[in-house]
Structure 1
């Protein structure tokens, strides 16, 4: 997703790499760069390893299809997943959290009605052997919150189970969703007085009843529509949840849909809450890229936009006209010169952000969260708003299609979370988001953009920022004509990704256009550039070419080499050793276990996100191996040897090797373990994933 995306520049299969050593050895470094191939020194080049494939593969095309098909997991229905979870809960390994914390079977208040096992002896008999290393919570204040269930329980000191402490307190994390608020959201009984007053002030309620998040009633039990914003492949990780461990009675009515919301692979497309006035992108905008942008905007600004701008003199007399803050009255954040880590889907989780903070990042932002999911009280979506105490300048990014939805989300976040700024994503290129009228779709609806920004910024004193792309269609940029209005509407800063929605992540970012927009920006609007920043030289060039630019946002560059922040602060190319890179991975694992848990489930969740990250880090080519530095973000690494075995392993594009790295840090994978990265930029075979 835009500003929250980890989509690669190019999709790469084994056939895209040089087929033999001679293909690269006889080309000059400049010729290799022209072909977007990294100029690795000749003595390190090797022939790409042959990936095994089934006998059914008779040609290159069918081979690629077969390789990809072998790693696609079978989709399971909600009912299947729920049944599997219930069966798992009956297992002795699913020990009651309270019993695990204290080691006392009488500590659970539900006693025999608890849906978890209380059989300590059976649990100890079936529990896997402890992992190597110390408990990740031993360096923090208080005992391990997972007690006997911790995979490092053998390292717990005497009295380590004496006191119960929550995960949030242990790991210094905040912005957890309050249980009482969550129940109000489930029942659709949450009130939004400030948001509704602001919407009335702007004439966006049309004198009608305030819209509520849709909830279906089935008998006495409310069943929530759980929908997730998805990435390019149609699924978003609900595993980002760091929910407080809590035992509960058997199959409680309200608890069932907590489990549904936390299902990792059971995610549905985003469901848009029913708008006040229906408004869709007209089909011509999607099917005919030759229509002028003026026609796109004219068609998108339909009668509903006219209704949304009802004159304020028709509003109710009880509206507080002093509610809206003038932009100059807002708290300001100075982005100028600061290193800004972009919100990144899946991989930009809290443990990864902690790693980047250690390596020098100044500003961090949570993964993009969908407004409708937040208003439904989905724990998995609220987990994206979690903040660690080390994140001293932190924002959250939200995405919504309508001003009322966004305004109520902003009010909710302002009440329940501690953040420094709120970013509204108006650049996400993903189809499932765009087709619902959110993300990049808003670039064709300037009146809708205006209403959303005004509704969000007028009711909070925190800065509201906006993330956009250059335009919807390739070759028809739009932001330069809106840049002055964005400030007038109330935004404090705007981040411009130098690509259009249609362009997605192909080709290089258009920094000349970003400069043009920065020079047109009015006083008080900070402009942040985004796209292809991969070294301190890129950073220096963009800052020197356009003094009006406040800073640059670093996205995929930080995924490939998170020490890019150190390079920028120290103004050098860091020829980092393989041992130092492994230490960074160890830090991520430690942070991950503190965030997702040190029990069996937490270990495997940490492994999953580690593997997702490794599907990017292998693209880094050590400085000492390159004929020309710095490495370009669009360069494809050829197959090469490292300067030692660990460096060679870290450079492997094989999922099997990534799994081996994870086993070095988290122990052996479970039987039948498979992995395929969400962005699917690489090809894998059955042998690598078996």
Structure 2
């Protein structure tokens, strides 16, 4: 292996097709943007993602072409050629009648509808081409009245839930439809299965339209927020009695905030408005309870997370189907995608959908980003009122490095605004009631200016954060260097020393960065003293990393098992996004997003040394069989072919462009 450049994955010679490593995928692009600082601005003309002394110098144009984000990505919503009214599709009547913009002619819709898709079972997956057992083309299985229906298919949603919520628009309609004697069509319902799965499969954390309307129109009450913001304004007006150097720090703590006996902040003693009062008639009687004693930090739900596995919140790719998949493979704690406080307060339906939770997610939280108490505290108050039983924690994002977030003062910008951060944490703690507040950080904003070791003790001991997670890189580093686990250890020690000094119960602290194997996990945990490790990129590349961690082994997963994982993702996607035409292709898009990371996995049976390292770049290689070779393809057209095994042929003209430019080699020109 001496001929391979440093930083190259040690693949056994018999599987090598080349000795030159592939271009490194730009994980900065996967976070939503290219690096905020170019190599030239750092005074470094080298490719920041190359490793070792043999790094070749690239021109500025080469670096731009090799890495970065495909910012022109557009994913058009594919619809049926003939649009059937949703109410008619579900067997209901439409109040708009002939004025409805969609057709009510079921026969015409079924005549134009594409033929049903076959969804394979796990037993249909094989390791030889075509990798999924073909379904026999038996014309007798087609419905005589509607050739688009295929009675041999199965609907994943119907099989799971006992009813399909897309009705006649389902692309697996032959599995659950009947034609009545009067010529009308009906959708089958398995009431027994529907009842059995109501608790185990039905998604949670929905928000109703009336509540969204109140949020949008600024009529949703925020009594706790109003009192807290008034308190902050009054504090700002008071003469500064503190030393000048503390002027930009939070000069209060949660205990002061909650005291009533001194009478200094009487307006803060306000109970939460019951959720039913939010939608009460505006001219109706007030349903606000009399003031209660406010909750103290010690009354928050205690987070006992030591020894648990944690899937990091991941933008775009960390959706509900992917989280379900990780739970199947051993993830104990899951967190939704980052939402923006401003978007929550504007009543964005898409933003509120990020809080959707599957019952299998036993410990679930949501992540929110914002720059000021006036944004984050009212959003937290709505969350605490609407989802008191549906959220186990709320995570404040103080680590997001992308320009879009940072330039607004959110994300990692809060690392340099301790006073503002303290006010946010205290206010959100108050507004969320029993729901704990946790904080995710990076080590600092700029290289050489780490400050997490100063912030974390204050977050845990002064501002009552219930847990802390620390990614071992600065904002400036992004993914260009290895995570600093020695510094993570220093931060853990700083928090534990402060807790011991003040006789406080220790809060969970999770580290993060470059964890890619069971050996990585347990060595880093022991070395740093963290309670666990939050896994992000490692889970994207191999979701079964949680199984490896729990079983303390490296899993040489077979190609067939990996394709079964893709089948399961497709099934979960259809259950979440829907089994109609738009739902199928949304599922296809996110399955391809997942494959744009999973292709980077190098089967450990092909490696000469273990454990595998996340930053090692593989040369071109072949797998132990054709399926393993296909799953290692970096060609995005191959990911679309894999999606077609489970979701049927992609619509004409549909292409997938990944976030990482280096992932779509040979296809960018054809995709436009």
Q: What TM-score does the superposition give when structure 2 sets the normalisation length?
A: 0.75
C-alpha distance in structure 2 between counterparts of 1:611 and 1:627, whole Å: 30
Q: How does 1:481-560 map to 2 (within 5 A)?
A: 481-487=454-460, 488-521=462-495, 522=499, 523-547=505-529, 549-560=530-541
Q: How far off is 1:68 after superposition?
A: 8.5
Report whether the alignment pairs 1:480 with 2:453: yes
C-alpha distance in structure 1 between counterparts of 2:293 and 2:374, whole Å: 16
C-alpha distance in structure 2 between counterparts of 1:336 and 1:137, whole Å: 36
Conservation of the 8 A alpha-carbon contact between 1:92 and 1:117: no
CA change 1:75–1:154 in 2 (3 A) is: closer
Match of 2:13 among 42, 45, 64: 42
Conservation of the 8 A alpha-carbon contact between 1:404 and 1:455: no
Q: How does 1:216-295 map to 2 (within 5 A)?
A: none
CA change 1:49–1:663 in 2 (3 A) is: farther
2:132 is matched with none
C-alpha distance in structure 2 between counterparts of 1:643 and 1:667, whole Å: 27
Match of 1:432 among 397, 404, 409: 404
CA change 1:641–1:422 in 2 (3 A) is: same
Q: How far off is 1:546 after superposition?
A: 3.4
Q: How far off is 1:196 after superposition?
A: 1.8
Alignment RMSD, CA only?
3.4
CA change 1:556–1:66 in 2 (3 A) is: closer
2:621 is matched with 640
1:344 is matched with 314
Q: How does 1:246-645 map to 2 (within 5 A)?
A: 317-320=266-269, 324-417=294-387, 418-459=390-431, 460-487=433-460, 488-521=462-495, 522=499, 523-547=505-529, 549-645=530-626
C-alpha distance in structure 1 between counterparts of 2:473 and 2:235, whole Å: 34
Q: How does 1:148-167 map to 2 (within 5 A)?
A: 148-156=168-176, 158=178, 160-161=187-188
Identify the range of structure 1 (178-187 vs 108-117) with the bigger mean alpha-carbon deviation.
Answer: 108-117
1:230 is matched with none
Q: How far off is 1:687 after superposition?
A: 6.2
CA change 1:539–1:110 in 2 (3 A) is: same
CA change 1:327–1:673 in 2 (3 A) is: same
Report whether the alignment pairs 1:144 with 2:130: no
CA change 1:568–1:318 in 2 (3 A) is: closer
C-alpha distance in structure 2 between counterparts of 1:545 and 1:632, whole Å: 18
1:678 is matched with 659
Paired residue secondary structure (2:619): coil
C-alpha distance in structure 2 between counterparts of 1:467 and 1:508, whole Å: 18
C-alpha distance in structure 1 between counterparts of 2:355 and 2:374, whole Å: 20
CA change 1:600–1:356 in 2 (3 A) is: same
Q: How far off is 1:195 after superposition?
A: 2.1
Conservation of the 8 A alpha-carbon contact between 1:423 and 1:467: yes
Identify the range of structure 1 (410-419 vs 195-204) with the bigger mean alpha-carbon deviation.
Answer: 195-204
Conservation of the 8 A alpha-carbon contact between 1:335 and 1:526: yes
Conservation of the 8 A alpha-carbon contact between 1:463 and 1:491: yes
CA change 1:688–1:444 in 2 (3 A) is: same
Paired residue secondary structure (2:385): helix
Report whether the alignment pairs 1:655 with 2:636: yes
Conservation of the 8 A alpha-carbon contact between 2:556 and 2:605: yes
C-alpha distance in structure 2 between counterparts of 1:658 and 1:392, whole Å: 31
C-alpha distance in structure 2 between counterparts of 1:492 and 1:462, whole Å: 10
C-alpha distance in structure 2 between counterparts of 1:323 and 1:192, whole Å: 17
Conservation of the 8 A alpha-carbon contact between 2:398 and 2:439: yes
C-alpha distance in structure 2 between counterparts of 1:465 and 1:598, whole Å: 36
Larger radius of gyration: 2
1:193 is matched with 223
Q: How many residues align?
A: 548
1:179 is matched with 209
C-alpha distance in structure 2 between counterparts of 1:481 and 1:49, whole Å: 44
Conservation of the 8 A alpha-carbon contact between 1:656 and 1:688: no
C-alpha distance in structure 2 between counterparts of 1:476 and 1:402, whole Å: 23
Conservation of the 8 A alpha-carbon contact between 2:453 and 2:490: yes
C-alpha distance in structure 2 between counterparts of 1:357 and 1:177, whole Å: 24
Conservation of the 8 A alpha-carbon contact between 2:70 and 2:660: no
Q: How far off is 1:99 after superposition?
A: 1.1
Q: How far off is 1:651 after superposition?
A: 0.4
CA change 1:60–1:119 in 2 (3 A) is: farther
Paired residue secondary structure (1:607): helix
Q: How far off is 1:551 after superposition?
A: 1.0
Q: How far off is 1:141 after superposition?
A: 3.6
Conservation of the 8 A alpha-carbon contact between 2:341 and 2:375: yes
Q: Which runs of 5+ in 2 are unaligned?
A: 23-57, 120-153, 179-185, 238-243, 271-291, 500-504
Conservation of the 8 A alpha-carbon contact between 1:198 and 1:323: no
C-alpha distance in structure 1 between counterparts of 2:428 and 2:172, whole Å: 45
Listed one character per residue, the Cα deviations across residues 62-82 of structure 1 (whole Å, up to 9, x for unaligned) are 788779999764779xxxx9x
CA change 1:62–1:452 in 2 (3 A) is: closer
Q: How far off is 1:670 after superposition?
A: 1.2
Q: How far off is 1:550 after superposition?
A: 1.2
C-alpha distance in structure 1 between counterparts of 2:370 and 2:669, whole Å: 42
Q: Which runs of 5+ in 1 are unaligned?
A: 1-24, 52-58, 208-296
C-alpha distance in structure 1 between counterparts of 2:439 and 2:350, whole Å: 24
CA change 1:70–1:343 in 2 (3 A) is: closer
Listed one character per residue, the Cα deviations across residues 243-292 of structure 1 (whole Å, up to 9, x for unaligned) are xxxxxxxxxxxxxxxxxxxxxxxxxxxxxxxxxxxxxxxxxxxxxxxxxx
C-alpha distance in structure 1 between counterparts of 2:72 and 2:475, whole Å: 29
C-alpha distance in structure 2 between counterparts of 1:97 and 1:145, whole Å: 10
Q: How far off is 1:660 after superposition?
A: 1.1
C-alpha distance in structure 2 between counterparts of 1:516 and 1:71, whole Å: 38
Listed one character per residue, the Cα deviations across residues 631-671 of structure 1 (whole Å, up to 9, x for unaligned) are 10101121100001000000011111111111112111111
C-alpha distance in structure 2 between counterparts of 1:473 and 1:346, whole Å: 26
